[in-house]
């Protein structure tokens, strides 16, 4: 199988501080990876850099995605290629109606992916949206409200999951997707991730809190410390971490 994502020798800084150092990571199409690590290891930086956050400066290295060097591409270009991140704390934006934002994003992404694509009407799109929301048990009235404004932690995460289904990305990066969720919401989110994975979706789950791993079975587990992947293994690493924490990986 080919690599969907290949991060080579990546060093990244922000405000003249190096956060990632010579980081390497390979993710094959269709696999499910977990990156774990203590606070401050650079996990969030990794996801932001993969997504193309303009504030981070890539000093050395390369990010290859779907056979293309994306190191210098804009966030929107990466989204169109099929990179997606479920945010740990998605922003609340006043006055931006969720359904209107999703409609514009949906049209942008699919029309750029396929020139022959014909955009749905507002009505057709609202039907698509309603169906997706229903399967995630999202209250339909949320779709008309301002993006994330006054939403509960669980509702915000579900809206992220909704976008995962809607935009059908090649790689889903899930940044601390399990934080701030009650057990019912966690199950729905995990179910959704599993479904995406079963449909040949590739997953990179970033977490320091392994509760969600009771519901999701990873193919690979990476341990990240001080801006580097220090160990890669299978599921058994999770038990190690549960028992002894990250201390054994910090040398």
Q: Which residues bind other proteins (CB under 8 A)?
A: 51-55, 74-76, 78-80, 84-85, 87, 90-91, 93-96, 101, 104-105, 108-109, 112, 146, 163, 167
Q: To the nearest whole angstrom, how small is the minimum distance from the Cβ of residue 109 to other proteins?
A: 4
Residue 217 phi, psi (nearest 5): -105, 110
Q: How far apart are CA 100 and CA 96, in angstroms?
A: 7
DSSP-H helix ranges across the chain? 43-51, 75-81, 98-113, 122-135, 153-167, 183-198, 236-244
Q: Which is nearer to other proteins, 87 or 220 (CB)?
A: 87
Q: Which is nearer to other proteins, 162 or 188 (CB)?
A: 162
Q: Is 214 helix (H, G, I), strand (E, B) or coil?
A: helix
- Which of 230, 221, 228, 231 is CA-nearest to residue 9? 228
Q: Which is nearer to other proteins, 42 or 52 (CB)?
A: 52
Relative to beta strand 32-36, strand 17-28 is: unpaired
- Long-range contacts of range 140-145, CB-CB < 8 Å, 24 or more positions apart? 142/98, 143/98, 143/99, 143/102, 144/97, 144/98, 144/99, 145/97, 145/98
Q: To the nearest whole angstrom, how small is the minimum distance from the Cβ of residue 156 to other proteins?
A: 12
Q: Which is nearer to other proteins, 14 or 230 (CB)?
A: 14
Q: Which is nearer to other proteins, 81 or 213 (CB)?
A: 81
Q: Which is nearer to other proteins, 172 or 223 (CB)?
A: 172
Q: To the nearest whole angstrom, how small is the minimum distance from the Cβ of residue 103 to other proteins?
A: 11
Q: To the nearest whole angstrom, how small is the minimum distance from the Cβ of residue 214 to other proteins?
A: 28
Q: To the nearest whole angstrom, how small is the minimum distance from the Cβ of residue 154 to other proteins?
A: 19
Q: To the nearest whole angstrom, how small is the minimum distance from the Cβ of residue 121 to other proteins?
A: 19
Angle, vertex CA 132, rays to CA 130 and CA 135, nearest 5: 110
88 burial type by CB count under 10 A (0-12 exposed, 13-18 middle, 19+ buried)? buried
């Amino acid at each position: 199988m080919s690599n969907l994502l290949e991060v080579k020798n990546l060093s990244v800084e922000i405000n003249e501080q190096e956060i990632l150092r010579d980081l390497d990571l390979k993710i094959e199409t269709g696999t499910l990876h977990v990156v774990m690590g203590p606070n401050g290891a650079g996990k969030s930086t990794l996801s932001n850099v993969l997504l193309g956050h303009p504030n981070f400066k890539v000093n050395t290295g390369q990010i290859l995605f779907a056979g293309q060097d994306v190191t210098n591409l804009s966030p929107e270009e990466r989204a169109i290629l099929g990179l997606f991140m479920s945010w740990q704390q998605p922003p609340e934006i006043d006055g931006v109606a969720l359904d209107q934002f999703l409609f514009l994003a949906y049209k942008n992404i699919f029309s750029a992916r396929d020139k022959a694509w014909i955009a749905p009407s507002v009505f057709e799109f609202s039907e698509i949206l309603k169906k997706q929301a229903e399967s995630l048990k999202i209250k339909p009235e949320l779709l008309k409200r301002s993006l994330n404004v006054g939403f509960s932690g669980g509702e915000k995460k579900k809206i992220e999951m909704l976008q995962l289904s809607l935009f059908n990305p090649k790689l889903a990066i899930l940044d601390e997707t399990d934080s701030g969720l009650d057990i019912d919401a966690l199950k729905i989110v995990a179910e959704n991730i599993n479904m995406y994975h079963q449909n040949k979706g590739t997953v990179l789950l970033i977490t320091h809190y392994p509760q969600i791993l009771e519901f999701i079975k990873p193919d690979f587990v990476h341990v990240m410390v001080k801006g580097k992947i220090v160990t890669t293994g299978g599921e058994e690493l999770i038990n190690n971490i549960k028992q002894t924490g990250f201390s054994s990986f910090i040398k």
